[in-house]
Amino acid sequence: MHEGRLTPGQLQAWALNRYYYQSRVPMKDAIILSRSEDPGFRRAWRKRIVDHDGQANDGGLECWIQLAEATGLPRKRVTSCAEILPAVRYAVDAYLALVERGTLLEAVASSLTELFASRLIAVRLDALRRHYPWLQAGLGYFEARLSQAPEDARFAFEWVCEHARTREDQELAARALIRKCDILWTQLEALYFAYVEPGWPPPGAFRPESP
């Protein structure tokens, strides 16, 4: 992606599959919200749901749909989630299971992948603008995340540091972050398998029209 080597069809596959992850993010944050008894924590955390769902139809999720539309996909084909890879579905569902069944500390720690997001997003925005200029109208999602991700990550990082006092809790938190990395990584591997090499989308999954 960052080297400009993706075809339009591969970018469609990425945007369409990643939509399923995006669609589950506010549900994930609502689960975390539901697990805290601290109004201060809840107030800070609800910002994420507002950022994602917006005030009207103007949040991060809507922006992601606009990115998918900029790749040439009709909105309904994206929001139906009918053509996503089963492997992507399982990985995303494993994320919901992690925040639902782990401790609250683990749930919050699993969000810390955002610590590394802001520099990555800056690099990505630059690369997308340079290599895929026809995506320009769909880049609002990443532009908003440039400032949102570091704020969110700072709060979560401080909260985890404050609440993981024992060695055991610190290891739980670190393991939760590794599990979240696995979840993100697995989605990309499934996309690579289906749409790059060997390039075998499973039955029922999205197939690009253009190569």
Nearer to its own copies, 82 or 137 (CB): 82
Which of 190, 195, 206, 208 touches its own copies (CB under 8 A)? 190
171 binds its own copies (CB under 8 A): no
Q: Indicate the residue among 67 and 194 with the shorter CB distance to its own copies.
A: 194
Among 136, 147, 202, 207, which residue interacts with its own copies (rule: CB under 8 A)? Answer: 202
Q: Which residues contact 141 (CB under 8 A, 6 or more apart)?
A: 60, 63, 64, 66, 67
Q: CA of 42: how far to CAs of 100, 101, 204, in Å?
A: 16, 19, 40
Structure tokens at 103: 């401790």
38 binds its own copies (CB under 8 A): no
> Does position 200 bind its own copies by CB under 8 A?
yes
Q: How far is CA 83 from the centre of its chain?
A: 18
What is the nearest approach in angstroms of its own copies to the Cβ of residue 70? Answer: 28
Binding characters for its own copies, 96-135, by CB under 8 A (x = yes)? -x--------------------------------------
Neighbours of 162 (CB within 10 A): 8
DSSP label of 110:
G
Residue 86 lies near its own copies (rule: CB under 8 A)? yes
Q: Using only C-alpha atoms, what is the Rg of the chain?
A: 17
Pairwise CA distance, residues 169 & 25, whole Å: 24
Contact positions vs its own copies (CB under 8 A):
85-87, 89-91, 93-94, 97, 178, 182-183, 185-186, 189-190, 192-194, 197-198, 200, 202-204
